[in-house]
Amino acid sequence: MEDVASARRGAAGIPRLFSLKGATGPLIGLILLCLFLSFTSDRFLSTRNFLNILDQVTVLGIMAVGMTFVILIGGIDLAVGSVLALAMMVMGYLANELGLPMAAAILVALVASAGTGVVSGFLITTFRVPAFIATLAMMSVARGLANMITDGQQIVGFPDWFNDLASIRHGGFLTVTVALAILVFLAAYLFLRYRSAGRMLYAVGGSNEVARLAGIDVRLVTIAVYAASAVCAGLAGIVLASRLDSVQPSSGLGYELDTIAAVVIGGTSLTGGSGGIPGTLIGVLIIGVLRNGLNLLNVSPFVQQIVIGIVIAIAVAAETYRNRK
Amino acid sequence: MTSTNPVILSLRGIGKTYGTITVLQGVDLDIRAGEVIALLGENGAGKSTLSGIIAGSREPSTGAMTLDGQPYAPASPRQAIDTGVALIHQELKLLPHLTIAENVFVGRWPMKGGKIDRAAMVRRAEEQLQRLGLMIPATRQVEGLSTAQQQLVEIAKALALKARVLILDEPTASLGGAETDLLFAQIDKLRSEGVGIIYISHRLEEIRRIANRIVVLRDGQKVAEFDRGDVPVRQVVEAMVGRSLERMFPTIPAPKGGVMLSVRNLTGANGAFRNVSFDVREGEILGIAGLMGAGRTELVRAITGADPIASGEVRLGGQPLALRSPADAISRGIVMVPEDRKLQGLIVEHSIGENLGYANTDRVAAKGWITGRGLASFADASIRRFGVKGRAEQPASALSGGNQQKVVIAKWLARNPRVVVLDEPTRGIDVGARSSIYDIIVELAASGVAVIVVSSDLEEVLGVSNRILVLSHGNQAGILDRSEATDVRVMELATS
């Protein structure tokens, strides 16, 4: 009896390992997209181009990890683009104007980012401000703060080693920033899948009340999630600074929408409670590959916006259709 | 007595299949003007499929219906309503921020000169409200009305559309005794006006009071039809479950241990109950009875940390407790199976295993790490222990109400709690599954747990409790011992 049950489970274990929980549709989309581009552009299918895509999606990817947490608990975070800019400016100001060591400047920038997330989380839990409004307010405040630091001016010129993080490909393929993004994804994946705290996000997103009655501290979880999202946005800002060798307060305008799009394309439900990191990875890659491919095909940036809009609509419509069946 | 009334709606050979699964087969049914037909059956017997077909939300696979002799095949609920057939759902579907009048006429506003004729809307809505004996202005917002009042607004809505066949799906599921009486008075009135009513309920006592005929479904087929309402309960139940019932309730053991939970002068922060004091001993089952709005649910939510307390004291094994959250209560071994299974007890889209895991992360996850295997073996153990018909990886939505409730109970019992509170443990659960819930309750008490059972079902409170605490308008009306508790005695206290 026992043996039969465990044998059955063992047999089901292999497919389960590869199960993407609702992200199979986006994965098929990504593969089709890659096939299409391989045939239409002779420059698409190369290691070099692939590495370019990875470099290009690090910022979006790191932000999307935090956004996945937020959307999983049924929330939304519109502040990430502004928080990214704030982190960049705090780091740039501390390092270049005050002469702090880079490491310390980065640390303070991340702490400042976390602070914005904690404030959003408090607004949402303690003052019951809807997440959309709380983070909209934070989006405005963080952007204003980022501008105030240098009165809207950019800061240029960081130590060489800092730029090298995004430009030197160790072993011929891996920049430190890409490695960092991969680590963030891996940690988030393991956290959501194997940590009890990670599973709690699914419970909170599935139903606030069920989670609370099950003894989960919904308030703490919510605040922590918005803090995590803000830290991811701040980290993405550091990566962007390294890529650009400069920081400016207008960075990250509209990034929140790309980030939300990547998460949603990846199959995480906006109502909360279902989805996950593998889907988000695919969503991020779809946006990255699409941008890259359209550039290679010399499609104008305006048309690119239209294409990406259509992809978002198709991805969500396809998922909804599948669920209805 | 009603068999001479004209037939309004007639069903012949109605069946429904989904793929290879037959959920309804060859059902014949005549609904006459001015009669109440009780439609009974366990969950999954086909009641909601049948009522859905009549009300136009599902299409039959086989068979035909006629309305006043004309072929009747509604393609949508709207078409059904337009031809005079309306279904009042178990879960009310009113728009809380609109007025009663707007709700009654939503989508069909009376128009005058291209504008909504608000005066006519209010007047016509009030006519229907008065017809139902509901003396509230139609300009009032729906939000804040009692459940019974909302139920009547739903019925008014159907009547305003000139419904001649009304299907009421568990209308009393959330009503207290007085409200049920009010509803029944209105049903009587509608019956005398010639409306044909199909009444779906799990509460057999009500059926005796209200029905002219009883139709029993089992496994999608009509298995019995009684030409009167006051059929012995046992006979009806036997037709529903298809076997003869030895007993409805298990034997309730006498408590052996000392006082486990002690409540003194407890008053809720929202004022729903005041100065409640009682003790529950180890192995004792305390029933809490009272009408809707008497403060039963609020009382047990306060004891389990879900709602704040204004004053008073809760002691567990002699120790005073400060309960600020459900987590506090759970860590002390006080757990609750909440009133609303689907909104408070389970995340129905998530798997059974996950649902069990949420309340037991500390057991499932060693040092915070959860593995699929650990969760599955934990879930399998619970599923086996409570006889849940389902697998760990199935979504909870795939289960019947009774099995869902077993999952909610199972998620707590793995923690070996000291006090278990069950709020409406068998609401919306069919008769067969009920007795296994009762068995679990008794088993818990026998193992020394202090059990509190809140129920609107009088028979249930009387059947499973050692003692019964009766609340009335938030006040403690009395505590009855099993030996002195009768339905009359409890109702006297509840209405005092």
Share the mean pLDDT of chain B: 87
The answer to whether A199 contacts chain B (CB < 8 Å) is yes
Q: Answer yes or no: do B343 and A209 touch at CB < 8 A.
A: yes
First to last CA, chain A: 35
Name residues whose C-beta falls within 8 Å of residue B94's C-beta, 6 or more positions apart in sequence.
B103, B142, B150, B153, B154
C-alpha to C-alpha distance for A33 and A315, rounded to whole angstroms:
13
C-alpha to C-alpha distance for A30 and A292, rounded to whole angstroms:
13
- What was the pLDDT predicted at A22? 61
Q: Answer yes or no: do B362 and A207 touch at CB < 8 A.
A: no
The answer to whether A179 contacts chain B (CB < 8 Å) is no
To the nearest whole Å, the CA of A240 is away from the closest chain B CA by 33
A chain contacts of residue B344, beta-carbon cutoff 8 Å: 207, 209-210, 213
The length of chain A is 325
At residue B174, does pLDDT exceed 80? no
- What was the pLDDT predicted at A2? 37
Does the domain spanning A21-324 belong to CATH 1.10.3470? yes
pLDDT tens digits, residue range B301-360? 999 999 999 999 999 999 999 899 999 999 999 999 998 888 899 998 899 999 998 888
User: In the structure encoding, which two tokens stand for residue B147, read together?
Assistant: 């459940």
B chain contacts of residue A13, beta-carbon cutoff 8 Å: 372
Q: Torsion angle, CA of A86/A88/A94/A95, rounded to 10 degrees? A: 180
Residue to substitute from A4, A196, A323, interface B, most B β-carbons within 10 A: A196
B chain contacts of residue A72, beta-carbon cutoff 8 Å: none
3-class state of residue A36 by DSSP: helix
Q: Which amino acid is at A209?
A: E
Q: Answer yes or no: do A210 and B380 touch at CB < 8 A.
A: no
The answer to whether A204 contacts chain B (CB < 8 Å) is no
- Quickly tell me which residue has 């605490």 as its tokens: B469
The beta-carbon neighbor of B336 closest among A196, A198, A213 is A213
The answer to whether B371 contacts chain A (CB < 8 Å) is yes
Q: Domain segments of chain A: what residues?
A: 21-324
User: In the structure encoding, which two tokens stand for residue B407, read together?
Assistant: 């999952």
To the nearest whole Å, the CA of A286 is away from the closest chain B CA by 27
B chain contacts of residue A9, beta-carbon cutoff 8 Å: 373, 376
Task: Report yes or no: A273 and B350 within 8 Å, Cβ to Cβ.
Answer: yes
To the nearest whole Å, the CA of A124 is away from the closest chain B CA by 19
C-alpha to C-alpha distance for A63 and A79, rounded to whole angstroms:
11
Q: Which amino acid is at B104?
A: V
* Smallest CA–CA distance from A193 into chain B, residue: B370
The answer to whether B397 contacts chain A (CB < 8 Å) is no
- ipTM score assigned to the predicted complex: 0.79
- What was the pLDDT predicted at A21? 56
User: Measuring CA to CA, which residue among A292, A290, A241, A237 is closest to residue A52?
Assistant: A292
User: In the structure encoding, which two tokens stand for residue A59, read together?
Assistant: 């910022």
Measured in whole angstroms, the distance separating CA B104 from the mean position of its chain's CA atoms is 24
Least confident of A203-207, B40-44, B180-184, B256-260: B40-44
- What was the pLDDT predicted at A17? 39
The answer to whether A210 contacts chain B (CB < 8 Å) is yes
C-alpha to C-alpha distance for B9 and B18, rounded to whole angstroms:
25
To the nearest whole Å, the CA of A111 is away from the closest chain B CA by 25
Residue to substitute from A213, A221, A268, A271, interface B, most B β-carbons within 10 A: A213
B chain contacts of residue A199, beta-carbon cutoff 8 Å: 354, 357-358, 361, 370
- Quickly tell me which residue has 């087969």 as its tokens: B25
Per residue in B193-216, is it b (16+ CB within 10 Å) or e — as a string?
A: eebbbbbbbbbbebbbebbbbbbb
Residues 108-167 of B with CB under 8 A from A: none
| Residuewise pLDDT in 10s, chain A (325 residues) | 333 344 344 334 434 434 455 678 889 889 999 999 999 998 999 988 999 999 999 999 999 999 999 999 999 999 999 999 999 999 999 999 999 999 999 999 999 999 999 999 999 999 999 999 999 999 999 999 999 999 999 999 899 999 999 999 988 889 999 999 999 999 999 999 888 889 899 999 999 889 999 889 999 999 999 999 999 999 999 999 999 999 999 999 999 999 999 999 998 988 899 899 999 999 999 999 999 999 999 999 899 889 989 988 988 888 778 766 5
Q: Answer yes or no: do A213 and B326 touch at CB < 8 A.
A: yes
The beta-carbon neighbor of B368 closest among A193, A195, A203 is A195
User: In the structure encoding, which two tokens stand for residue B246, read together?
Assistant: 């030895």
User: In the structure encoding, which two tokens stand for residue A30, read together?
Assistant: 């990504």
C-alpha to C-alpha distance for A169 and B302, rounded to whole angstroms:
60
Task: Report yes or no: B209 and B178 within 8 Å, Cβ to Cβ.
Answer: no
Name residues whose C-beta falls within 8 Å of residue A245's C-beta, 6 or more positions apart in sequence.
A156, A157, A158, A163
Domains of chain B listed by start with CATH number: 7-241 (3.40.50.300), 259-494 (3.40.50.300)
C-alpha to C-alpha distance for B281 and B292, rounded to whole angstroms:
26
Residues 288-317 of B with CB under 8 A from A: 306
C-alpha to C-alpha distance for B65 and B68, rounded to whole angstroms:
10
Interhelix angle A176-194/A196-206, rounded to 10 degrees, is: 70
C-alpha to C-alpha distance for B358 and A60, rounded to whole angstroms:
31
Q: Answer yes or no: do A213 and B306 touch at CB < 8 A.
A: yes
B chain contacts of residue A212, beta-carbon cutoff 8 Å: 306, 325-326
pTM for the whole structure: 0.76
To the nearest whole Å, the CA of A187 is away from the closest chain B CA by 13
The beta-carbon neighbor of A196 closest among B336, B368, B393 is B368
Name residues whose C-beta falls within 8 Å of residue A225's C-beta, 6 or more positions apart in sequence.
A69, A70, A72, A73, A75, A121, A201
Decide the pairing of beta strands B319-320 and B334-337. Answer: unpaired
Strand order in the sheet with B221-226: B85-88, B165-169, B196-200, B36-40, B213-218, B221-226
A60 vs B42, more confident: A60
Q: Answer yes or no: do A210 and B370 touch at CB < 8 A.
A: no
pLDDT tens digits, residue range B262-301? 999 999 988 889 999 999 999 999 999 987 778 899 999 9
> Most confidently modeled of A16-25, A52-61, B135-144, B167-176?
A52-61
3-class state of residue B12 by DSSP: strand
To the nearest whole Å, the CA of A126 is away from the closest chain B CA by 15
- With residues binned 3-state (H G I as helix, E B as strand, rest as coil), the percentages for chain B, rounded to 5, are 35, 25, 40
- What was the pLDDT predicted at A13? 40
Residue to substitute from B18, B358, B383, interface A, most A β-carbons within 10 A: B358
C-alpha to C-alpha distance for A290 and A303, rounded to whole angstroms:
12
Residue to substitute from B347, B355, B371, interface A, most A β-carbons within 10 A: B347
Mean per-residue pLDDT, B359-366? 82
Q: Answer yes or no: do A207 and B373 touch at CB < 8 A.
A: no
Q: Answer yes or no: do B369 and A212 touch at CB < 8 A.
A: no
Residues 419-448 of B with CB under 8 A from A: none
- What was the pLDDT predicted at A18? 41
* Smallest CA–CA distance from B340 into chain A, residue: A210
Write the DSSP string, A238-303.
HHHHHHHTEE-TTTTTTHHHHHHHHHHHTT--TTSS---HHHHHHHHHHHHHHHHHHHHTT--HHH
At residue B133, does pLDDT exceed 50? yes
Interhelix angle A131-150/A102-125, rounded to 10 degrees, is: 150
To the nearest whole Å, the CA of B361 is away from the closest chain A CA by 6
The answer to whether A219 contacts chain B (CB < 8 Å) is no
A chain contacts of residue B411, beta-carbon cutoff 8 Å: 214
The answer to whether B68 contacts chain A (CB < 8 Å) is no
- What was the pLDDT predicted at B250? 85
Task: Report yes or no: B418 and B329 within 8 Å, Cβ to Cβ.
Answer: no
The beta-carbon neighbor of A199 closest among B336, B361, B362 is B361
Q: Answer yes or no: do B354 and A202 touch at CB < 8 A.
A: yes
- What are the residues facing B309 on neighbouring strands? B268
